[in-house]
């Protein structure tokens, strides 16, 4: 049994075998693994005696879950109310453009992945982007370009 399998077993073994615990189990797996793999969802379905289609349907209904492994430097664009009102959506589109990935995607080199998040608690700095542990305040599409050129994502390599 490899580490991932034993992590998954330990998550399943301390949870109740009842469909009402599905979301809690999925949240715990994602918090440990960073995402929900196909294999993990199949195991959860087996454990809860549910069809894999139902587990998949529930997981994809909530946008808190991701289905690809996270990048080394996760990029999170806040779309909480303050950030949204301050232009967060345009910032998100600019980041997606620079990284050449969609929300929920990951760059080919697995360096960056992109997701939106709800309020991260620094609304005075809206709109906010986090990259790994770093917080980038008062972002605009031009600032996104500057930051991305410095971080050197694949799209920033100019020939």
Binding site for ligand FES (CB under 6 A): 78, 80-83, 119-123, 126, 128
Give the per-residue SS3 of the chain. CCHHHHHHHHHHHCCCCCHHHHHHHHHHHHHHHCCCCHHHHHHHHHHHCCCHHHHHHHHHHCCCCCCCCCCCEEEEEECCHHHHHCCHHHHHHHHHHHHCCCCCCECCCCCEEEEEECCCCCHHHCCCEEECCEEECCCCHHHHHHHHHHHCCHHHCCC
Nearer to ligand FES, 64 or 81 (CB): 81
Give the residue with the Cβ less far from ligand FES, 118 or 149.
Answer: 118
- C-beta of 89: minimal distance to ligand FES in Å? 12
Q: What is the C-alpha to C-alpha distance for residues 50 and 146, in angstroms, rounded to an integer? A: 48
Kindly state the smallest distance separating residue 84's Cβ from ligand FES, in Å. 7
Min dist. Cβ of residue 82 to ligand FES (A): 4
CB of 25 or CB of 92, closer to ligand FES = 92
Closest distance to ligand FES from the beta carbon of 43 (Å):
35
Q: Least distance in Å: CB of 79 to ligand FES? A: 7
Tokens linked to 120: 């991260």
Q: Choose between 55 and 131: whose C-beta lies nearer to ligand FES.
A: 131
Nearer to ligand FES, 68 or 140 (CB): 140
Residue nearest to ligand FES (CB): 80
Q: What are the residues whose beta carbons fall under 8 Å from the beta carbon of 24, sequence distance 6 or more?
A: 15
């Amino acid at each position: 049994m490899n580490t991932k399998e034993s992590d998954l077993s330990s998550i399943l073994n301390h949870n109740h075998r009842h469909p009402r615990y599905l979301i809690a189990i999925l949240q715990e797996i994602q918090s440990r693994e960073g995402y929900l793999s196909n294999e993990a969802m199949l195991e959860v379905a087996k454990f809860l005696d549910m069809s894999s289609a139902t587990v998949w349907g529930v997981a994809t209904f909530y946008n808190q879950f991701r289905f690809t492994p996270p990048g080394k430097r996760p990029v999170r664009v806040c779309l909480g109310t303050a950030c949204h009102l301050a232009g967060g959506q345009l910032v998100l589109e600019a980041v997606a453009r620079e990284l050449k990935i969609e929300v929920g995607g990951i760059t080919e080199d697995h360096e960056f992945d992109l997701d939106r998040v709800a309020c991260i608690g620094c609304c005075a700095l809206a709109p906010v982007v986090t990259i790994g542990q770093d917080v980038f305040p008062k972002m605009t599409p031009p600032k996104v370009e500057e930051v991305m050129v410095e971080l050197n994502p694949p799209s920033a390599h100019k020939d």
